[in-house]
Structure 1
Amino acid sequence: MRIDGFEESADDFAEFAEGLREFADGMDDAVDEGTRETVKQIERTAKRLVAVDSGTLRWSIAFRRIDLAEYIIGTPVDYAPDVEFGSAPHVITPTTGEFLYFEGEDGHLIRKRSVQHPGTPAQPFMRPALREHRSDLARNIQAEIDALAKKAFS
């Protein structure tokens, strides 16, 4: 007895199985790349939103990969939390020497043992950037999975 078309169907199933293997093998990379794309979007938005004086804080915002689909984004600049969250009124004292020195409004040098800083209002940049791109994570991962599926099954 002979069954027509069996070899052709077997070849189709083998090709489909190979596509499934390729799809499964690429899934981790697709999720990682979708996550990376989202973190890049967050970084760009944070740099756009951050208050700029010298530009140091803006240019220090960066991300790095920790593990598969695990990234960290932030800045090593020590005053970044004060910009993001603001600061309460506080006393400033010298870190070296006995006095703080600064120029007064009239141009004369002023010498003080401490000064009362009035505090600064919050100027958030990281939290709004995270909120803005929260829904992009699923969309970016889905786009990478769709591209993987198209490659594996076309």
Structure 2
Amino acid sequence: MAVSGSFSMDARQFERGLRRWVGRLSTESKRAADRTGTRVQNEARRRAPVDTGRLRSSIVSRSEDRGRTYDVTVGTTVTYAEDVENGTAPHRIYPRTKRALYWPGAAHPVAYVDHPGTAPHPFLAPAVAMAETFLREELARAGRRVR
């Protein structure tokens, strides 16, 4: 052979280095997922309609490490959020504690009101749809930091 080469490797040292590198990558992946959750949260807040600001401020991102999986959830606990996201069908509104409904300007008390429904105003679904793009961008940044 005109040209040859050889090398030796300490397998234990190689495995330790590999574990450190994978651990660092895993940490960076989790950070990328957290940053993605924050970006989805911000996008949902940007898209949310504002009347009082309660819905917008209630949108949060939470992450949970489950060992082999890392879950990121973006959502809200405001009870009317689903109605805003998906809209409502026409429905009747009945009084809760009284026998009739009355408001300033009404001609007289009424037993119920026919509500025409509301149009959907999606804010969370479009933001979640952007998660894959956000995650790719964040992982690309993480890859540049790990190397």
Q: What CA distance in whole angstroms lies between the structure 1 residues aligned with 2:62 and 2:23?
A: 24
Q: What CA distance in whole angstroms lies between the structure 2 residues aligned with 1:18 and 1:110?
A: 80
Q: What CA distance in whole angstroms lies between the structure 2 residues aligned with 1:96 and 1:66?
A: 41
Distance change (3 Å), C-alpha of 1:110 and 1:41: farther
TM-score, structure 2 as length reference: 0.80
The superposition leaves residues 22-65 of structure 1 with CA deviations (integer Å, 9 ceiling, x where unpaired) of: 21222322221111111100111111111111100000001112
Residues 1:88 and 2:74 are matched in the alignment: no
Q: Which runs of 5+ in 2 are unaligned?
A: 1-7
Counterpart selection for 1:128 from 123, 126, 129: 126
Distance change (3 Å), C-alpha of 1:134 and 1:102: farther
Counting matched residue pairs gives: 137
Q: What CA distance in whole angstroms lies between the structure 1 residues aligned with 2:54 and 2:76?
A: 10
Q: What CA distance in whole angstroms lies between the structure 2 residues aligned with 1:82 and 1:103?
A: 26
The residue that corresponds to 1:34 in the other structure is: 32
1:127 CA drift (Å): 1.0
Identity of aligned residues (%): 34
Alignment of 1:55-74 (within 5 A): 55-68=53-66, 69-74=70-75
The residue that corresponds to 1:138 in the other structure is: 136
Q: What CA distance in whole angstroms lies between the structure 2 residues aligned with 1:110 and 1:80?
A: 32
1:134 CA drift (Å): 2.4
The residue that corresponds to 1:98 in the other structure is: 99
Distance change (3 Å), C-alpha of 1:125 and 1:10: same
CA RMSD between the two structures: 2.5
The superposition leaves residues 115-137 of structure 1 with CA deviations (integer Å, 9 ceiling, x where unpaired) of: 01000000110111122332221
Given that 1:100 and 1:111 are in contact with CA atoms closer than 8 Å, whether structure 2 keeps it comes out as: yes
TM-score, structure 1 as length reference: 0.76
Q: What CA distance in whole angstroms lies between the structure 2 residues aligned with 1:147 and 1:129?
A: 26
Q: What CA distance in whole angstroms lies between the structure 1 residues aligned with 2:23 and 2:130?
A: 31
Given that 2:37 and 2:62 are in contact with CA atoms closer than 8 Å, whether structure 1 keeps it comes out as: no
The residue that corresponds to 1:3 in the other structure is: none
Q: What CA distance in whole angstroms lies between the structure 2 residues aligned with 1:47 and 1:73?
A: 11
Residues 1:147 and 2:124 are matched in the alignment: no
